[in-house]
């Protein structure tokens, strides 16, 4: 759930700059995308936005596990059978995903897609899964069983029934790629907001940086801090709207792929990083790792910062973040 970040877009009514921001909202990859570009007029902006949309659709076709003709689906259908040759782009995305898995001790894991849907957060769950059911559900999860061969560009899932999916990294990657296409086309500034996975570049046409407003989900009407951002990404993961409650305990929809149990203790993680792909993966990972381990890991990464809100509403930040508290 990525709902609590807001980008403050300043319309340049009182400025004489040639370029102005134009925004369009679309449904892409099953999610709400907002694409903002600086352009001289609406026609030019429309051309740029169409370029971004085409790139996002291309990425979706590459990584979709629902499209039986995608390379990702081919990998999954050959789990435990044979390696599958894939494009260099998909190979490198999987390679980076495994690096993040290693970095987070498995808190991030694209093979989580193989876990059976024991936990449902749509109101239909009536009882807690048993320990045995949860143990069985994670039997086919484990990034160390994803075998890459650089020489042949092949991907092999060792265990029959394994699956990979890019739900925790795909929209961030799409935002990065769309932004890259637009930069190459000469768009000097803009924002790709992929349902809360936000990639920015350049500044507003008036020269000011884009501004991120951070909201505490326990008090959604109050912005407690802002942060200027340019040529970077910000992603928030939250568990405050999708959860179940059993035996007076609250279980969130963010599951630890190592154990099969929901993460606890945190309600919101906001990560700032150079790329949305990395911020997307780390936001979920910090949830799973917990406050202390998560902050420690973030503090070791260059150009990466985070803001954590625990389940009591307390706010914690990484060492070097500079936010403007209101």
Q: Judge contact between 32 and 264, C-beta under 8 A.
A: no
The domain over range 209-326 is classified in CATH as 3.30.310.50: no
Assigned fold of 7-65+166-202: T-fold (3.10.520)
pLDDT at 115: 83
Helix spans in the chain (H): 42-63, 71-77, 88-103, 131-137, 170-184, 276-289, 291-299
pLDDT at 273: 96
* DSSP state string for 95-134: HHHHHHHHHTTTSS-GGGGGS------SS---SPPPHHHH
Mean pLDDT of 157-163: 95
Q: How far is CA 177 from CA 40, 78, 245, in A?
A: 23, 28, 39
Is residue 326 very low, low, confident or very high in pLDDT (cuts 50, 70, 90)? low
SS3 content of the chain, % helix, strand, coil (to 5): 30, 30, 40
What's the pTM value of the predicted model, to 2 decimals?
Answer: 0.90
Reported as a single tens digit per residue, the pLDDT across 88-145 is 999 999 999 999 999 999 999 999 988 877 888 878 888 888 999 999 989 999 999 9
**Lowest-pLDDT choice from 26-30, 114-118, 173-177, 310-314:** 114-118
Residue limits of CATH 3.10.520.10 in the chain: 7-65+166-202, 209-326
Residue limits of CATH 1.10.3980.10 in the chain: 78-157
Residue with tokens 């990525």: 2
- Percent of the chain past pLDDT 70, that is, above it, reads 92
**Lowest-pLDDT choice from 94-98, 177-181, 318-322:** 318-322
Is residue 240 very low, low, confident or very high in pLDDT (cuts 50, 70, 90)? low
Instruction: Name which CATH class applies to 78-157.
Output: mainly alpha
């Amino acid at each position: 759930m990525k709902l609590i970040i807001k980008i403050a877009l300043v319309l340049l009514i009182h400025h004489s700059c040639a370029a102005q921001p134009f925004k369009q909202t679309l449904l892409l990859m099953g999610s709400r995308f907002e694409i903002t570009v600086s352009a001289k007029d609406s026609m030019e902006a429309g051309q740029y936005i169409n370029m971004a949309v085409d790139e996002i659709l291309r990425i979706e076709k590459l990584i979709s596990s629902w499209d039986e003709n995608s390379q990702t689906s081919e990998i999954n259908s050959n789990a435990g059978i044979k390696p599958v040759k894939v494009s260099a782009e998909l190979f490198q995305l999987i390679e980076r995903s495994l690096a993040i898995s290693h970095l987070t001790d498995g808190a991030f894991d694209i093979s989580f897609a193989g876990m059976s849907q024991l936990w449902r957060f749509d109101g239909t769950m009536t009882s807690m899964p048993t320990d045995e059911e949860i143990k069985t559900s994670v039997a086919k999860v484990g990034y160390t069983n994803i075998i890459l061969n650089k020489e042949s560009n092949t991907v092999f899932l060792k265990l029959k029934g394994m699956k990979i999916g890019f739900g925790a990294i795909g929209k961030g990657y799409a935002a990065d790629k769309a932004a890259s296409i637009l930069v190459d086309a000469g768009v000097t500034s803009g924002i790709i907001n992929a349902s809360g996975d936000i990639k920015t570049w350049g500044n507003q046409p008036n020269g000011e940086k884009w501004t991120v407003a951070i909201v505490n989900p326990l008090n959604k009407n109050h912005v407690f801090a802002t942060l200027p951002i340019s040529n970077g990404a910000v992603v928030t993961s939250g568990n405050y709207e999708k959860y179940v409650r059993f035996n007076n305990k609250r279980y969130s929809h963010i599951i630890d792929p190592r154990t099969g149990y929901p993460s606890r203790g945190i309600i919101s993680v906001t990560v700032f990083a150079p790329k949305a792909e990395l911020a997307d993966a780390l936001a979920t990972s910090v949830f799973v790792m917990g406050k202390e381990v998560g902050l420690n890991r973030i503090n070791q990464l260059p150009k990466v910062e985070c803001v954590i809100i625990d389940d009591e509403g307390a706010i914690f930040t990484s060492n070097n973040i500079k936010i403007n508290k209101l």
